[in-house]
Amino acid sequence: MKLFGRKEKATGEILAGGENAIANKEVEGLSQGQIVRRRFFRHRAAVIALVALSSIILFVLTSLDTKIGPIRIPGWWKWTVEDIPELRFEDCPGGTTGCPTLSLNPTGDFGMGNHPFGQDDIGRDYFALVMNGARRSLMIMFVIGAVSGFIGVVVGSISGFYGKRVDAVLMRLVDFIQTVPTIIIAAVIGKAAGRVGPFFLALFLGILGWTGLARLVRAQFLSLREMEFVDAARVAGASNIRIAFKHILPNAVGQIIVSVTLIMAGAILTETALSYLGFGVVAPDVSLGLLISQYESSFTTRPWLFWWPGFFIISIALCVNFIGDGLRDAFDPRQRRRITKKDRLQAKLQIKAGE
C-alpha cells in the first residue's frame, strides 16, 4: 500500500545548529532507499565489485549458446564444449601443447586469438570450458542463495514473530541441522547428484545452508517485535500478517540481503570444493572446481589449465563478498560518514590556512 506518490524534496528547515544538524545533514530530504543507495555508492570497492560481477555475468551468459526449452540463443564465442579443434603446437613453452593465445601486448597480436585460455589435453577450447563452468557455478550460487534465503527468512520470521513454543521447536530444528556435518551430507547427496544433475545439488545445498540466516532473521524479528511502532500498528488493528510483512520485514531486509550475499559467496566455494572432491558436478558436465581437479597434475607443465578456473572462482567470490560489505555499510543504521585520513589531512590544512 503506497498511499501517496513519491516524496517531494524536503523544503523545511534542518534542525537548527549543533550536533543534531551534523547527524541529520546526511539524510536530509532522502527516502530510506535513497540513503542506502547513496551509502552503497560511497563504498568504492563495492561499486567496483558490482561492475566487475555484472561484467563477468554478462560475459559468461552471452559467450555460449543458451538453451531455454526448444529455443536456442546463440552465443558469440566460436567454440562450444563439444567441439574438439586441433591442438596448437606452435609457440608453446617447453614443448607443451594447447597454450593460450590471449595477448595483452598492445603493439603485438593484441586480442583473444583462437584459444584465449588455451586448450585441454584433447584439444577442447578451454575458454568455452571455463565459461561453461562459470555458468554452472553462478547458477548454483544463485540457486543456493535463493533457496537458503527463502527458507531462512520464512523459518526465522515465524520463529521470531510467534516466539514461545513455535520458536523453541524451530530453533531445535536449526540446532539439529547445524549438527549434521554439511560436508558429509552434501558429499553423500553430491555423489548421488552425479545422477540427478547440478540443479538438484544446488537445491540440496540450499536446503542445508539456511540455518545461520534463520537465526539472524529471528533475532531481528525478536528485537523489532518489541518496537513501539509494532504495538502502534497492532492497536491500529493490523493483522499479524500485515505486521510481519508491512512493519517488521521491511526493517529487517537490509540484514537479510547482506546475509544472503555472504551465503552466496560461501556457496560458490562449497560447490567448487565438492566438485573438486568429485561429489559435486561430475563429468561430462563442467564446473570450475571439476576443471581444477582434472588438471591439477598438469600444473607444472601447463599452468593455464589451473589458473583460469581459479581466477574465475576467486573473482566471483571476491566480488560478491565486496558487494556484501558495501550493502552492510549501506544498511547499517549506525553507519556514519567515515572520517578517513584524507578528511583529517584536509581538516589540518584548513586549520593551517585559517591561522
Q: Which is nearer to another protein, 66 or 301 (CB)?
A: 301
Which residues inside 306-345 make contact with another protein, applying CB under 8 A?
Answer: 306, 310, 313-314, 317-318, 321-322, 325, 337-341, 343-344
Stretch that binds another protein, among 106-114, 141-149, 154-162, 289-297 (CB under 8 A): 289-297
The answer to whether the CB of 57 falls within 8 A of the CB of 138 is yes
Stretch that binds another protein, among 97-105, 108-116, 140-148, 180-188 (CB under 8 A): 180-188
Largest CA distance in the chain: 80
Q: How far apart are CA 201 and CA 137, in angstroms?
A: 11
The answer to whether the CB of 135 falls within 8 A of the CB of 60 is yes
Which residues inside 40-99 make contact with another protein, applying CB under 8 A?
Answer: 45
The answer to whether the CB of 175 falls within 8 A of the CB of 118 is no
User: Which residues lie across from 67 on neighbouring strands?
Assistant: 72
Q: Which is nearer to another protein, 72 or 338 (CB)?
A: 338
The answer to whether the CB of 97 falls within 8 A of the CB of 89 is yes
List the one residue from 170, 289, 305, 327 that touches another protein (CB under 8 A): 289
Tally of CB atoms within 10 A around 191: 15
* # residues near another protein by CB under 8 A: 94
Q: Which is nearer to another protein, 73 or 345 (CB)?
A: 345
Name the grid cell of 44: 568504492
List the one residue from 80, 251, 298, 335 that touches another protein (CB under 8 A): 251
Residue 71: its H or E element:
strand 71-73
Contacts of 47 (CB under 8 A, 6+ apart): 40, 41, 326
CB of 85 to another protein, least distance (A): 27
In terms of Cβ atoms closer than 10 Å to its own Cβ (0-12, 13-18, 19+), residue 329 is: middle
Q: How far apart are CA 224 and CA 228, in angstroms?
A: 9
Which residues inside 8-47 make contact with another protein, applying CB under 8 A?
Answer: 8, 10-12, 15-22, 24-29, 31-32, 45
CB of 340 to another protein, least distance (A): 5
The answer to whether the CB of 99 falls within 8 A of the CB of 88 is yes
**194 near another protein, rule: CB under 8 A:** no
Which residues inside 225-244 make contact with another protein, applying CB under 8 A?
Answer: 227-229, 231-238, 242
CB of 41 to another protein, least distance (A): 15
List the one residue from 199, 250, 283, 349 that touches another protein (CB under 8 A): 250
Which residues inside 209-228 make contact with another protein, applying CB under 8 A?
Answer: 227-228
Stretch that binds another protein, among 58-66, 86-94, 122-130, 272-280 (CB under 8 A): 272-280
Q: Which is nearer to another protein, 2 or 67 (CB)?
A: 2
Which residues inside 157-176 make contact with another protein, applying CB under 8 A?
Answer: 172, 175-176
Instruction: From 214, 116, 228, select the one nearest 173 (Cα to Cα).
Output: 214
Q: Which is nearer to another protein, 61 or 233 (CB)?
A: 233
Q: Which is nearer to another protein, 68 or 236 (CB)?
A: 236
Burial readout 111-138 (b: 16 or more C-beta within 10 A, e: otherwise):
eeeebbbbbbeebbbbbbbbbbbbbbbb
